[in-house]
């Protein structure tokens, strides 16, 4: 090949290399977007995803389809999206399980700080400590006494190791000094089905699923994991005010795209997420479910990345001290 022809071919290759992401970004979105949820349908993470999927789709001019990819405390979904095409059409919504995974799983096939582009933080959701409706204890101190006296007979449900229900349950057991039989599910949607049916005794779960059930008296509630009482559940005391000092778990959420997704695409996704979280219907509904919408600066790549780094640093020592490993 003559040198001038090589020069032309070389130049075209360079243009080609830069133009693919640019062309992708120009036409993005060119098809429906998969919003991957790491837990079973019906659970609190699924509720959040289905709340924002329609307004995000509207903002982007496409449909956002929620896809539940379950298992291993959310790490199967996190791996799927880490390995997905970088065209912006496969994104992940996950909660603080993204921050606990590095301490819980010794063999992770993704790196929370290396496998993703960050879209932004989503919602902060408190949790509630629940029992099946006919559980014998009237309040938290009765519950603690009853659990200690019957620890071999009582079951505590969660959504798998790395799930926040697992984390909350682990903190509860270590705080009251008791080890219960834990029953893992693919999400707290199916766990709640068994709690309502009386097949399992206790569950700590996000208000995005539990508020309506508490209101309807279909479960017993012993406390909320927020620092202050919730406007949606004014008569439910916090665990802290009932003596479990400092017991606070607030479940934050983030939205992620695979590493290498072009910036022009992630910027469109961040804007769409921000629009969805300021949609009046979403704001009202999440308020009813005691969920806080982050400030606009947190609904950004930097806002999510800095929070994720801080949470990994915070929960790592707690989990390693508890000596809990998922694998």
Taking Cα atoms as reference points, which of 164, 203, 197 lies closest to residue 182?
203
E strand or H helix at 2:
none
Position 96 contacts ligand ASP (CB under 6 A): no
Tell me the window of 2-10, 42-50, 137-145, 253-261 that interacts with ligand ASP (CB under 6 A). 42-50
| Angle at which helices 207-215 and 188-197 cross, to 10° | 20
Residues 6+ apart with CB under 8 A from 220: 130, 131, 132, 133, 135, 137
Position 126 contacts ligand ASP (CB under 6 A): no
Q: Shortest distance, CB of residue 39 to ligand ASP, whole angstroms?
A: 3
Interface mask (CB under 6 A) for ligand ASP, residues 154-193, using x and -?
Answer: ----xx---xxx---------------------xxx----
Rank residues 29 and 162 by Cβ distance to ligand ASP and give the closer one: 162
Position 254 contacts ligand ASP (CB under 6 A): no
Q: Shortest distance, CB of residue 31 to ligand ASP, whole angstroms?
A: 26
Position 43 contacts ligand ASP (CB under 6 A): yes
Q: Which of 24, 68, 206, 300 binds ligand ASP (CB under 6 A)?
A: 206
Residues 6+ apart with CB under 8 A from 221: 128, 129, 130, 210, 214, 233, 236
DSSP state of 115: S
Q: Which of 24, 45, 266, 300 binds ligand ASP (CB under 6 A)?
A: 45
Q: Which of 39, 222, 256, 315 binds ligand ASP (CB under 6 A)?
A: 39
Tokens linked to 286: 């999440």
DSSP state of 238: B
Rank residues 100 and 261 by Cβ distance to ligand ASP and give the closer one: 100
* Alpha-carbon separation of residue 223 from 144, 226, 310 (angstroms): 12, 9, 27
Position 123 contacts ligand ASP (CB under 6 A): no
Position 262 contacts ligand ASP (CB under 6 A): no
Place of tokens 């903002």: 59
């Amino acid at each position: 090949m003559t040198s001038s022809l090589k020069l032309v071919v070389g130049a075209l290759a360079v243009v080609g290399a830069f133009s693919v992401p640019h062309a992708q970004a120009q036409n993005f979105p060119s098809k429906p977007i998969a919003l991957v949820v790491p837990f079973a349908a019906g659970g609190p993470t699924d509720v959040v995803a289905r709340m924002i999927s329609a307004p995000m789709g509207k903002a982007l001019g496409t449909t956002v389809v929620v896809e539940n990819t379950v298992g291993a405390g959310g790490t199967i979904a996190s791996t799927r999206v880490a390995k997905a095409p970088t065209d912006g059409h496969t994104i992940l919504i996950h909660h603080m399980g993204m921050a606990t995974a590095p301490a819980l799983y010794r063999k992770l096939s993704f790196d929370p700080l290396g496998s993703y582009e960050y879209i932004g933080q989503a919602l902060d959701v408190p949790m509630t400590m629940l029992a099946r409706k006919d559980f014998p204890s009237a309040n938290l101190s009765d519950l603690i006494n009853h659990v200690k006296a019957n620890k071999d007979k009582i079951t505590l449900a969660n959504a798998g190791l790395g799930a926040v229900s697992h984390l909350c349950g682990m903190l509860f057991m270590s705080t009251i000094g008791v080890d219960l039989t834990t029953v893992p599910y693919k999400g707290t949607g199916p766990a709640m089905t068994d709690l309502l049916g009386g097949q399992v005794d206790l569950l700590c779960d996000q208000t995005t699923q539990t508020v309506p059930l508490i209101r309807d008296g279909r479960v017993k509630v012993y406390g909320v994991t927020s620092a202050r009482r919730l406007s949606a559940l004014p008569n439910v005391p916090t665990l802290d005010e009932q003596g479990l000092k400092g017991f606070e778990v607030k479940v934050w959420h983030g939205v992620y795209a695979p590493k290498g997704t072009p910036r022009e695409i992630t910027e469109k996704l961040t804007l769409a997420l921000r629009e969805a979280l300021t949609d009046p219907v979403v704001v009202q509904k999440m308020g009813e479910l005691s969920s806080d919408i982050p400030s606009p600066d947190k609904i950004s790549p930097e806002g999510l990345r800095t929070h994720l780094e801080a949470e990994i640093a915070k929960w790592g020592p707690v989990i390693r001290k508890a000596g809990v490993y998922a694998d």
